[in-house]
Structure 1
Amino acid sequence: MESQSYQNHRKFYPPHHFIYLPLLILLEVFGIWKIFNDEPNKLIWILFSIVIFLLFYLAIMIRQHYALGLQNRLVRLEFKQRYFELFGQRSDEVESKLGFDQIAALRFAYDDEFKELLYKALHENISGNEIKKSIKNWRADHHRI
């Protein structure tokens, strides 16, 4: 498996991203084209295009909503556990000062960098993206959605 880094840490689900969604986009473009080029059946093609758009919208929103909601909860739990293991105390106060993007970015840092980057996030308010770019030794996460 390829070593994970900032450049390649995003994950795709090929049937969804490279088959289903492109097919829906093609059908939508075809439906819109037919609206302007098939005058006798214009109403049918409008309805077709609306249905395809709704399928496209639902496919994106439902998949993302459930997966990301669950993943966000797990990332927060992982942060709490890791903070407790490193500092021996609860993270409630620290967690309330961080944005989710910062918490999520910190999971890619090993423990030695985690402490330094956590300090920067709290005192310099660096963004999650800046935290990721600052990581020298990337801690891969191959189990995310």
Structure 2
Amino acid sequence: MKHQNYRNHRRFVVGYHIVTFLIILLFIVGSIRGLLKATDDNLYSTSLLVLVGFILLLMFFYLRIFALKAQDRAIRAEEKLRYFILTGKALSTTITTRQIIGLRFASDDEFVSLVEKAEKENLSESEIKRSIRNWKPDHYRV
């Protein structure tokens, strides 16, 4: 597996992000064309196809969003536990979930100092990731 860093850590699945999305869009375009050419005999079925297309599009987006939300909750719990193990203290409530998600790539050596820096300087998730010197890869992301 390739070494993970800030530039290549995002997960991009061609079959999902491009192929599935394009197929759904083609389905919607084709069903709308069919609806525009529909007669009274097939108006109901062609309108249902348009509706199915938009349902598929919504499902495409929400399936990804729901999976990422569940992953974010798991990451938040894991990183709070890691902070407690490393310091013996609870993680501050001022650290946001997005900041915690950025911190998950930090090695144990720099994790605590990055938490303090993120809290003090209100760093964004991206700024935190760019600050990491010793990247801890996460190959099990959604």
Q: Which residue of 2 aligns with 1:69?
A: 69
Q: Which residue of 2 aligns with 1:84?
A: 84
Give, in angstroms, the shift of residue 46 of structure 1.
3.2
The structure 1 residue matched to 2:96, chosen from 95, 99, 112, is 99
2:111 is the alignment partner of 1:114: yes
Matched residues in 1 for 2:47 and 2:132: separation? 50
Q: Which residue of 1 aligns with 2:57?
A: 56
- Unmatched tracts of structure 1, length 5 or more: none
Moved more, 107-116 or 43-52: 43-52
Give, in angstroms, the shift of residue 115 of structure 1.
2.3
| TM-score, scaled relative to structure 1 | 0.83
Q: What amino acid does structure 2 have at the position aligned with 1:71?
A: Q
- Unmatched tracts of structure 2, length 5 or more: none
Kindly tell me the number of residue pairs found equivalent between the two proteins: 140
| TM-score, scaled relative to structure 2 | 0.84
Matched residues in 1 for 2:28 and 2:73: separation? 35
Q: Which residue of 2 aligns with 1:29?
A: 29
Residue pair 2:105, 2:135 contacting (<8 A) in 1 also: yes
Residue pair 2:38, 2:46 contacting (<8 A) in 1 also: no
Deviation string, structure 1 residues 79-104 (Cα, Å, up to 9, x no partner)? 1221112112232xx1x111111001
Aligned residues: percent identity? Answer: 39
Give, in angstroms, the shift of residue 137 of structure 1.
2.2
Deviation string, structure 1 residues 37-67 (Cα, Å, up to 9, x no partner)? x1525554333112111122123313431x2
SS in 2 for 1:97: coil
Matched residues in 2 for 1:144 and 1:25: separation? 26
SS in 2 for 1:58: helix
Q: What amino acid does structure 1 have at the position aligned with 2:65?
A: Q
